[in-house]
Structure 1
Amino acid sequence: MSLLMSIVFAVLVFEMTLLAIMLLPLPQGMQRSLVTTIDSLLRNSQIRVGLSFIALIVSLMFFDAMKTSFPHKDSSFAAFSAQNYPVTKTIGQSIWDVRSKKFYAHRNMYITGAVLYLMVAIYFNDLLLSSIVRNKEKLIKATDPKAKQTEKTSSIEYEKLQHELKLKEDDVATFKRQLNGMHAEYQKKADDSTKVAEKTEKTTDENKKQK
């Protein structure tokens, strides 16, 4: 793995860790501190420029890997097959080189795609958590006996807050299920790619021994 892809993979691990922390059932104070910290970072102009630059670079890498993963048909091999030429070891080796490049392109496409997906997921999850924290604080104030002495809250508003909080919690639960499904699919793709790579390396070694 190249240095650039190693950095992208490190970003992917950081995003997965951050998203896992955001989805944990943290206490109200810790959850409020986490949301406040993330919001303050996102409001920073320098950090926003850096995130935009990272998103642009990763997007270019994603489209480049996708273009390499689905190349146009090579006319040279088609000409050999059409004229019934024997496939030599050099041509066979070239075929395996092309397949290896295609495998690495698929790997890069999965990693960069996951980085972009988690970047969007973290942003929308932050919006959901911010709304949940605000509604919880309103609910705590509405049910606090001391607060009732200074501020009267109608029962209609109280039920509305409870309903909104339940909707937001349902959204978070749905998001968790989607994230688990994406993680399982990503793990399956990674396992399949590893098996293909091992098979490719084994075949390449056998071809070299035959030479």
Structure 2
Amino acid sequence: MSLYYTLVFIFLCIEVVIFSILALPIPTKFRRPLTLCLLKPFQLEVVQITIKCILGFILLLFADTINKVYSIETELNAASNANIKGGGIYSQDRIEVLSRKFFAQRNMYLTGMTLFLTFTVVRTFSLVQELLELKDKYRKENPEIDTAKLESEDSSEKDKLLKKIEDNEKEISRLTEKAKLLESEM
């Protein structure tokens, strides 16, 4: 793999790590500092320009690999047509063309996935930021609601519902017995 495709692979690995961190179900008190830590370097104008340039180069590499895959496929089809017409193709030449096709396809998938994951990471990051902002807004609008209080209310509500279910089950069994007695009297 050439140097620039190695750099694209490193960029892809970095994106995978960032996306994994953003996608993990982390509590808000840990997610906020982690998100701010990830955001800090990307707020610098120099970093933003650098990333845009890198993505531009990756887009050019992607277009180039698509062109290479197309030309190799055309060459392979021309060679197989010549073979059908009796023009014989050496197996060594075919293996060489197939190996070039493999490398071109590998590079195309590498650059394509890098571009796709870039847009996915950006969108995920904006969703996480929006979620954190909405949680802050909600907490500012409702300061009387405390999470510990909510948990205790949830457990008391759960106990009430369980008690109600138990009472309803007793009532069902009582009515079932009563129905059986009425049935036997008839």
TM over 0.5: yes
| Amino acid in structure 2 at the alignment position of 1:77 | A
Name the structure 1 match of 2:125: 126
Distance of 1:79 and 1:133 partners within structure 2: 60
Distance of 1:85 and 1:49 partners within structure 2: 53
> Does residue 1:31 correspond to 2:31, yes or no?
yes
Q: How far does the alpha carbon of each residue in 1:136-180 deviate from its partner, in whole angstroms, 9 at most, with x for none? A: 112223343399xxxxxxxxxxxxxxxxxxxxxxxxxxxxxxxxx
Matches within 5 A, 1:1-211: 1-71=1-71, 73-74=74-75, 77=79, 80-81=82-83, 83-87=85-89, 91-145=90-144
The alpha carbon displacement at 1:41 in A equals 2.9
Distance of 1:143 and 1:31 partners within structure 2: 21
Q: 1:56 to 1:137 in 2, by over 3 A?
A: same
> Percent identity at matched positions?
24
The alpha carbon displacement at 1:79 in A equals 7.2
Q: 1:92 to 1:23 in 2, by over 3 A?
A: same
Name the structure 2 match of 1:179: none
The alpha carbon displacement at 1:93 in A equals 1.1
Q: 1:143 to 1:52 in 2, by over 3 A?
A: same
The alpha carbon displacement at 1:34 in A equals 2.9
The alpha carbon displacement at 1:29 in A equals 2.6
Distance of 1:143 and 1:76 partners within structure 2: 71
Q: How many residues align?
A: 144
Distance of 2:40 and 2:9 partners within structure 1: 25
Secondary structure, counterpart of 1:84 in structure 2: coil
Where structure 2 has 5 or more consecutive residues not aligned to the other structure, the ranges are 147-186
RMSD: 2.4
The alpha carbon displacement at 1:63 in A equals 1.0
Secondary structure, counterpart of 2:87 in structure 1: coil
Q: How far does the alpha carbon of each residue in 1:24-70 deviate from its partner, in whole angstroms, 9 at most, with x for none? A: 12222322223333443333110011101110111111111111112
Question: Scaled by the length of structure 2, what TM-score is found?
Answer: 0.68
| Amino acid in structure 2 at the alignment position of 1:2 | S
Secondary structure, counterpart of 1:121 in structure 2: helix
Where structure 1 has 5 or more consecutive residues not aligned to the other structure, the ranges are 148-211
Question: Scaled by the length of structure 1, what TM-score is found?
Answer: 0.60
Q: How far does the alpha carbon of each residue in 1:69-108 deviate from its partner, in whole angstroms, 9 at most, with x for none? A: 1226338636743652344xxx321121111101111111
Distance of 2:10 and 2:124 partners within structure 1: 21
Distance of 1:78 and 1:100 partners within structure 2: 16
Whichever of the two has the greater Rg, that structure is: 2
